[in-house]
Each structure stands twice: as C-alpha cells, then as structure tokens.
Structure 1
Amino acid sequence: MKVAAIQMVSSTDLAANLAHARALLARAAEAGAELAVLPEYFCIMGRVDTDKLQVQEPFGDGPIQRFLSEAAREFRLWLVGGTLPITADGGRVRNSSLAFEPGGACVARYDKIHLFRFDNGVERFDEARVLEHGTTPQMFEMTARDGRLWRIGMSVCYDLRFPELYRDYAARGADLLLVPSAFTQATGLAHWELLLRTRAVENLAFVMAPAQGGLHESGRRTWGHSMLVDPWGQVLAEHAEGEAVVLAELDAARLETCRTQLPALGHRVL
C-alpha cells in the first residue's frame, strides 16, 4: 500500500493553508497514494496559542471538516486531517485528528491525550492553557486496494513520548501508527527520529509521521523531517524541511516477516 505523509509550513491564513494542503493532496493522489496524512495544525499555525480558537469548529461540521471530506472524496483517498481545533467545554478546544474514507465520511476521531509543556528558557509552551485533553485511544480499519485490511492507531505529536498508548494499539493488532506532529526544533533535533524508530521497533508496526517543517510567522521553527519507518526500525522515506509529499510503500509481507521472525509482542510478561 502506498501512503503519503504530507509536510507543511502552515501560516496564520486558514484559506491559504487549505489551498496548500489541497495541492499537496493532489500530488499524493497522482502518485498513487491510498492513504494521506496531514500534519498537526495543518489548517493554522498561529502567532499565539489562542489564535486557534478563532477557527474552532463543532464536531461534525465546519469549513475545515468540509474541506477534508471533499478532498477525500475528490481524490479517492483515505485521509487523516492531521489535527484541527474542535470546540470543547469551558472556552477550550480539543486538538483533534479526523479520519475520512474515500467517500468523504468521517470514520474516526482522536483527541490528543497528552498536552505538551516545555520551557528551555528561550521557548515556552503550555498547551493546557488552550486545549482540553482527550481520554481515549482510537483506531480505525481501512481496506487497501489489494484487499488487505490495515488496522491503524491514531496519535498526535507529544503522545509519541508515552509508549503505553502505542502498546495499547499493538495489543489490539495495529499495523500502522500515525503521529501527525509539529515538533519544536529543539525537541525534534534531540528525540524525533529516536522516538519514531523506537515506537516502530517495540510494537512491530509501521510508523507514519507527517510534520510541520519550517519557519512560521510567529518566529517558531518546527523540526519537520516527516518520516515513514518500517517495523524493523528502518527509515523508508524522510524529508527535512519545507513542503513535501513523502511517499513510501508499506509492505504487508515485510510486516508479517518481522513479526514471525521476532514474535516479541507474544513474549510480553508485564
């Protein structure tokens, strides 16, 4: 199955971001991708955290959700809309990742569970000031064009540091783990590839991680390096910085070989 991790450098302009996303999705579809995944906050990277409140939508309808549904239908793709701000209680939003099937229906919603907080004296982030955290892991199933069923576990960015989420997916038979992200330059340089390859190896699953990658209007620089990793920890494809469609073939036979040769998931004791 061919998949596409979409890398963006999103701005504060919603319409411009959707136009860029559409162009990149068109490229993915033309290249033969069956599944395309956009990065975290593909729709807006604000100058301040509260900017995302201006484009929030109730779950089920809104211009961003209509865009995703229409793109999935137009390009006949399984499409995961990185994340977008979905209205929550108390003046906050959920950082939600939505999956759409090629007919345009939303088949899964995952709300980011772990909220990022970081302060190195130069960069400071605290997502809890604006976001309400999710509580529930979420998987969906897709049937590829060759008839093979893929079980897909959803996550977002900072979730990557919490292996128990991915172990839950592995225990439920996940073949592919999604990690749409907007890693900071500092944390990405230190840990991005290390964590992605670790999640792949320990769970014997493919990992697909589309990212924001470049300098944004706020002055923030995101790490990029959108990546696809196989169950043995080998990097199948990667793009460092700037807009890109990162393509790779996910080989189901390779997945089964890794799991048969080293059936570590069946050796768990704790």
Structure 2
Amino acid sequence: MRAGVVQTTTGLDRSANAQALAEAATRLAARGADIVFLPEMCGLLDRNSARLAASVSGEESDPAIAALRAVARDSGVAIAIGSLAVRDDEGPADGRLANRSILVGPDGAILARYDKIHLFDVDLPDGSRYRESASFAPGDRAVIADLPWGRLGLSICYDVRFPALYHALAQAGAAVIAVPAAFTVPTGRAHWHILLRARAIETGCFIVAAAQTGLHQDGRETYGHSLVVDPWGEVLCDMGEAPAEALVTLDLGRVEEVRQRIPALRHARPIHGPVVSAAP
C-alpha cells in the first residue's frame, strides 16, 4: 500500500484550508498514492472555542469534506481525513461538536466515521487549564474499516496514550492504524516518537501519524514530525518540522511476519477483577 502523508500548518480560513488539502491530496494521488492521510483538525484549527463554534458546520456543508470527496472521485485515491470539527444534528443537546475522523473511499463515498474517544482536559501547575470536553463530545466506539489493501483502524491524537484502544483495533484485524494529531511542542518532544513506536510494537501494526506543525494563526505551536512506523517499531518516515508531503510504501506482509515473531496479540489474556494488594 502506498501511503501519502500530508503535514500542514492549518489556519482559520476554512475555504483556503480545504483548497490546500485538496491540492496536496491531488499531488500525492498523481505520485501513485493509494490512500492519503491528513492531520487532526485539518479543516480548521482554532483554540478560541466561541469562534470555532461559530465557524463549523455539519458534514454536508463542510468545504474540506466536499473538496476531498471530489479529489477521491477524480483521482481514485482513498483519503483518511484526520479529523474535522463537525456539528452533528444527532449530537448532544448541549451543542458540543464532534472531533471526527472521516474515511473517504476511492469512489468519493464516506466509508467510516470515528469520533475521538479520549478528550484532553488538564489543569497545569502554572494555573493554565485546557478543556477539550467543553467544546467536543467524546465518541463511544472504536472504528475499523476494510480497504482493498487491508483493514484500517482509526484514532485521533490524545487517543495514542490509551493502548487498550489500539489493542482492540489490532484484535479486530487492523493492519494499519491512523493517528492524526496536533501535538504541542513540549509534549511532542517528550513523548511523540516513543508513544507511536510503542503502539506499533504492541499491536504489530503500521502506524501512520499525519501531524500539524508550526505556529498557527490561533497562537498555538504544534510539533510536526509526522511519522510512519512499521510493525517492528522502525520509523520509515519522519517529516520533520516544515509543512510537507511524503509517499511511503507499506509492505503489509510485514504485519503477519512480525506477529509471528512476537505473538503478543495471541498471548493477551483478560485481567479479571480488581488488582489485589499483596499482604506484607
């Protein structure tokens, strides 16, 4: 499978962002990509929750979805839209949005949707706080999709810190798992490579992590370093810190080869009951 990866510095103009994504996906399709992977919040990246809520729409009127579905139809390429902020008519009554990954097939049809399960809420020692759950409602199900080249598992950014999700995707037959992200610089430097390599090794899957990078119009700075990691934990591609596009060939036969060498998925056993505190 030839995977195209797009690393972007997404801004506040939805139309301009959609056009840039469509152009990048078209270029990668022309280079022979079978599927193109895009970052988290690739249609609009804005930490101002009020401005974000006023800007987003439902899937049917999202410019990035429309543009990318057209590219898929015209070029015959699948596109994993890392995630978008989407207003869902069937969402919670409090009006929170979905942080949604959308998989578009080579015919332009939407094959799968995944809403980010794990939301990042934190109070930092310096007094600053961040509440992703104030703007977004969490998803409640893991999602896997069948593609001509194999099964693709979907996840988003902060999910990468929760290995149970990746284990479930691998047990369900995923050979490749997408991890689109907008990691900040400090946590990216400390944890990004380690976490992604660990998820690849634990699952025996290819990990494709398209990332945001650089200084954004909303003031945040993201780490970049979009990665493709093979099932043995080897980094096949590291895109550094500049906006860029890459094309990486994934030998999916490597998945079964690695799982035969380290059959951890077959050896996994459920842990029943609470953890016991041993007597002294």
Percentage identity across paired residues of the two chains? 38
TM-score scaled by length of structure 2: 0.90
Matched, 1:116 2:120: yes
Structure 2: which 5+ runs fail to align?
271-280
CA contact (8 A) 2:17 2:64 kept: no
> 1 CA distance for matches of 2:224 and 2:54?
25
What's the counterpart of residue 276 of structure 2? none
CA gap of 1:15–1:102, structure 2 versus 1, over 3 A, is same
Deviates more, 1:55-64 or 1:18-27: 55-64
Alignment partner of 1:207 is 2:207: yes
SS of corresponding position for 2:177:
strand
Distance 1:253 1:64 in 2: 33
Q: Could you say what secondary structure the match of 1:82 adopts?
A: strand
Q: How far apart, CA to CA, are the structure 1 residues paired with 2:72 and 2:252?
A: 23
**Structure with bigger gyration radius:** 2
The equivalent of 1:126 in structure 2 is: 131
Q: Give the equivalent residue in structure 2 for 1:140.
A: 145
| Residue 67 of structure 1, CA deviation | 1.8
Partner of 1:25: 25
Alignment match, 1:77? 77
Q: Aligned with 1:79: secondary structure?
A: strand
Structure 1 length as normaliser, TM-score? 0.93
Counterpart contact for 1:24–1:244, Cα < 8 Å: no
- SS for the counterpart of 1:164 is helix
Cα deviation digits, residues 69-119 of structure 1 (max 9, x gap):
112112211111111122133221000000010111001000000101233
In the alignment, the residues of structure 1 paired with residue 51 and residue 181 of structure 2 have an alpha-carbon distance, to the nearest angstrom, of: 18
Contact 1:238 1:246 (8 Å CA) reproduced = no
- CA drift at 1:60: 4.6
Is structure 2 residue 136 aligned with structure 1 residue 106?
Answer: no
Instruction: Identify if the C-alpha distance between structure 1 residues 219 and 120 changes in structure 2 by more than 3 Å, giving closer, same or farther.
Output: farther
Do residues 156 (structure 1) and 160 (structure 2) align? no
CA distance in 2, matches of 1:120, 1:247: 41
Structure 1: which 4+ aligned runs deviate by more than 6 Å?
A: none
Aligned residues: 265
- Unmatched 5+ residue regions in structure 1? 145-149
Q: What's 1:147 paired with?
A: none
* Change beyond 3 A, Cα 1:226–1:123: farther
Query: What do residues 100-148 of structure 1 show as CA deviations (whole Å, max 9, x unaligned)?
Result: 101110010000001012335286421011111110101101003xxxx
- The answer as to whether partners of 1:214 and 1:241 remain within 8 angstroms in 2 is yes
Residue identity matched to 2:190:
A
